[in-house]
Structure 1
Amino acid sequence: MGSSSAIFNGNSRYASDFQSVIDRTVAIASLPISQLNNEKDKLTNQSTALSAIDDKFTSLENAVAAIQNSLGRSSFEVTVTDDSVASATVGDGAMEGTYSIEVTDLGAYTTTLTADSGPLKVTDPSKQNISAQTSFTLTVGTTKYDITPQQNTLNSLAGAINATAGADVRATIVNVGPASAPDYRLSLQSTKLGDLGIQLSDGTDLQTEQVRGSTARYKVNGASNEAESGSRTVTIAPGLTVSLLAKSPAGAATSITLIRKSSAASDALASFVTAYNAAVDEVDKHRGQGAGALNGTPIVNDLSRTLGEMTDYVASGDRISSLASLGIEFDRTGKLSFNALTFMAADLDDSAGVLNFLGSSTSNGFLNTATNALKALRDPVDGTIPTTLTSIQNQISTEDRLISDNQDRVDQLKQQLQEQMAASDALIAGLEQQYTYLNGMFQTMLANASQYQ
């Protein structure tokens, strides 16, 4: 894009006048460019302002997510009365309470070992195998699997078994002989508890059963019936997983107590209040006297409406029915404030009510309302903020194109004016030279004539 300023260098006495004509004409022609630049500056300022607002609402969105996380697994304290019998892990969906488990049978994994007679003796598993055959059949229960090792060695055979998908068998190599006379054998063990036979064959059975598997058995919360499991890791309640470590003493159940810590949720609510107030402050920059670049645009009202939807949420019919019940209220300046003591008192008095009011981001409650409201603003595909930013950027691109097109026309006009003025100046300069020449001749003639009078 060229420059609109023009420096005209002429030879006639009217050169400066020609320059003035060029400057004035170019200035008038450039007025639309000035208007376009002003509009572009306005749009750029709006884009910058909206990006700053987006940062605040991103922080607010993260703060809402943090409240959800504070109610999850990390918020619970777990106490197990006998950690030699069981350990507990908390997941999403867990609820406060005391649970009990009595392990009546820890269960067993079926285990087999290469038979004493029949299979070949192996002293070096990297070079020898328990059979001269190159293909085998692994039978697990009633299911058969074809096993073809890459090499005819015990190491390769064990690797091929371990690579068999769905067999649920783990192969290891053990030395049952002394160091002076190694005797390496293949040990096969099921990865699931239960009454399940395991055999490896090359046409002849190669394994001898050492342990017959059985399922784990346990009782939950004093139930008379026993539950069975093919794993020593069991889920006894939503979000509560227990690892069975040992058989319980007869008739003695192990208690597992889950207590949700109020501090995690309290800290998350305090952070939410801070992020909310920061978002309000950023939006308010574009209202009233000395308002910012977004003053008068629809998005300011959209942002304010979203903030209002979040704090106006009410759960009708419940004791914990509003943010005020959790200690979150507007102060005299119109900003949110948080009273941690009020929240802790509400949580101690009606923990279930607090959880019910807050709900979750995906189903109901305050968190669902806040999450959906913020998503409507910040969704990358059709959120109000991203689509508005994209629209502004498109308008800026349009302004740039119009500025460039107009500048090209002004530059072309300037070039034409310079050429026209140069031609006019040259013509006038020629006439001035002729005038000077003729005037000189005339003056000479007058001087000569006066000498003869």
Structure 2
Amino acid sequence: MATSSISGLASGLDTASLVDQLMQLEAIPQTRLKTQQTTEKSVLSALRSLNTDTLLLASKATALAKPATWQTLKATVTGTGVTATAGATAAATTLSFTIGSVAASHQLGFTNAAALTDVVASGSSVTITGSDGVAHDVSTGGGTLSELVSSINASSSTTGVRASAVKVADGSYRLLAESTTTGAASSFTLTNADGTDLLGGASVRAGADASIDLGLGITATSSTNTFTNLVPGVDVTLAPTATVGGTATVTVAQDSSSVRASVKGLVDQVNSLLSLIDTQTATKTETGTAGVLAGDTMSRSLRNSLVNTIFGSDSTSMASLGIQTDRYGKLVFDGDAFDKAYAADPSGVAAKFTTGATTATDGWAARVAAVAKGATGVNGTITAAIAGRNTALDRLTDSIADWDDRLEIRRKTLERTYTALETALSNMQSQGNWLAGQISSLPTYSS
């Protein structure tokens, strides 16, 4: 801050520098507050980082704690043109079958060709009659081929029929009408309103159901190419290009690879958080500096709680399922041990991870989720610590601002004091000079 004092005008002293030095002494309490503010900001940043990682852990643990995550039956297919999916109600099974037919829509290809602008309907409407015997009259406007196609397509949601004009030569088109669904029940007729043939009548490709022969006299049919719940929880779908007479085998079996990866991912996330806590709470050594959260009991308590989740309410550990601690206080995961346990008892292993009927019966993932949520929730330990640091930081900021005001007043006081001193000295020097002049002007006498 610039000074307005008259620096050394009379005294020869550098009073501006003197004021600055005195202000540095006056500002020592504020400097301490600023140092404390910097420390608080570092702690707050560390707590927020800890909160972010703990939230991520809570998310992963919650996902693994859901029973649906452990529905690991997977359907695999040998053969071409066939796919299969296994749902939650599926059971391990194997199905072999021969493709008897694929589902097809009902089609009518009309005999007579016409230009798009030719009038082809004998009246103002045509009639579409479905396999259920229900007739729908469709207005054709002017009755041209183009208008007929547009009218049929506009009514598709009601009639279940769509149409197109297929170009067979320059300026010459034939009408193709097709059911919007597949299956034997998709048949329909398309005639003039008076029942006469439209465009000379039509060739028919009848709609067909898809069918597969499972042997032993068992044949399954479907109006679409998907056999929903062919056996409970298992859907089988034929590609439209599947080869009739081709064979396929669908195998539904446990596939632990996905949950194994999820378990390993959660172990890794726990270890990542433990490493972060260890770094932040490290004590000062001869070779290393102290962590930002050194001595913070909340962080250490969170660490202990996370490690202790491997023990259930009955004090049994997760070692038999491949999860245990090492001598450094981190978790280790044995994938082979997990696979072996899961293959022997999938539902039992799942129960050791998922949310139970009561807190006491919660599995490991559910316990980890509970610890993480307890730290990051509205009233969580990390949340409370962040709120407390924010409050302390606000107080420090206010105190530093108050000191700015005090120091400004003190500087002005010092500047006025030294300015007054310089002024007084200047006046005294002026008076001394005047007196000296007066004395020197007095006559001298010799004896």
Q: Normalized against structure 1, the TM-score is what?
A: 0.70
Q: Which runs of 5+ in 1 are unaligned?
A: none
CA gap 1:431/1:160 in 2 versus in 1, 3 angstroms: farther
- Say whether residues 1:88 and 2:87 are aligned partners: no
Aligned counterpart for 1:335 among listed residues 323, 330, 346? 330
CA gap 1:165/1:178 in 2 versus in 1, 3 angstroms: closer
What does residue range 5-404 of structure 1 map to in structure 2 within 5 Å?
A: 9-13=7-11, 15-16=13-14, 20=18, 23-24=21-22, 27-28=25-26, 30-54=27-51, 56-57=53-54, 60=57, 64=61, 78-80=75-77, 83=80, 86-90=82-86, 93=88, 97-100=92-95, 108-113=103-108, 115-116=110-111, 121-124=113-116, 130-131=120-121, 166=157, 169=160, 171-173=162-164, 175=166, 179=169, 182-193=172-183, 195-196=185-186, 198=188, 210=204, 213=207, 229-236=222-229, 240-244=234-238, 255-287=249-281, 289-290=283-284, 291-297=290-296, 299-301=298-300, 303-304=302-303, 306-308=305-307, 310-313=309-312, 322-359=317-354, 365-377=363-375, 385=382, 389=386, 392=389, 396=393, 399-404=396-401
Cα offset for 1:293? 2.6
Q: Is contact 1:309–1:373 with CA below 8 Å preserved after alignment?
A: no
Secondary structure at the aligned position of 2:185 is classed as coil
Q: Matches of 1:61 and 1:398 in 2, distance apart?
A: 32
Indicate the RMSD between aligned Cα atoms, in angstroms: 5.2
Q: Which runs of 5+ in 2 are unaligned?
A: 285-289
Q: Matches of 2:115 and 2:11 in 1, distance apart?
A: 115
Q: Matches of 1:145 and 1:404 in 2, distance apart?
A: 83
Instruction: After superposing the two structures, state which structure 1 stretch, 368-377 or 134-143, moved more.
Output: 134-143
CA gap 1:79/1:267 in 2 versus in 1, 3 angstroms: closer
Q: Matches of 1:298 and 1:143 in 2, distance apart?
A: 78
Q: Is contact 2:106–2:205 with CA below 8 Å preserved after alignment?
A: yes
CA gap 1:301/1:150 in 2 versus in 1, 3 angstroms: farther
> CA offsets per residue over residues 402-426 of structure 1, 9 Å max, x none?
4345324423442354245324422
- The alignment of Structure 1 onto Structure 2 pairs a total of residues equal to 431
Secondary structure at the aligned position of 2:172 is classed as coil
Q: Is contact 1:81–1:256 with CA below 8 Å preserved after alignment?
A: yes
Cα offset for 1:243? 0.5
CA gap 1:199/1:328 in 2 versus in 1, 3 angstroms: same
Q: Matches of 1:271 and 1:137 in 2, distance apart?
A: 63
Q: Matches of 1:4 and 1:221 in 2, distance apart?
A: 101
> CA offsets per residue over residues 120-179 of structure 1, 9 Å max, x none?
x5334xx6675598988877668899989999976676567667785594635253x854
> CA offsets per residue over residues 4-62 of structure 1, 9 Å max, x none?
9998624132745686467436642x345324312321221113322443464466457
Q: Is contact 2:161–2:179 with CA below 8 Å preserved after alignment?
A: yes
CA gap 1:11/1:218 in 2 versus in 1, 3 angstroms: same
Q: Is contact 2:92–2:254 with CA below 8 Å preserved after alignment?
A: no
- Say whether residues 1:428 and 2:419 are aligned partners: no
Q: Matches of 1:279 and 1:162 in 2, distance apart?
A: 60
CA gap 1:342/1:39 in 2 versus in 1, 3 angstroms: same
CA gap 1:47/1:217 in 2 versus in 1, 3 angstroms: same
CA gap 1:278/1:151 in 2 versus in 1, 3 angstroms: farther
Q: Normalized against structure 2, the TM-score is what?
A: 0.71
CA gap 1:427/1:182 in 2 versus in 1, 3 angstroms: same
Q: Is contact 2:91–2:232 with CA below 8 Å preserved after alignment?
A: no
Secondary structure at the aligned position of 1:195 is classed as helix
CA gap 1:247/1:322 in 2 versus in 1, 3 angstroms: farther
Cα offset for 1:97? 1.4
Cα offset for 1:327? 1.4
Q: Is contact 2:99–2:213 with CA below 8 Å preserved after alignment?
A: yes
> CA offsets per residue over residues 292-337 of structure 1, 9 Å max, x none?
3334556415632651464234689xxxx74212111112222222
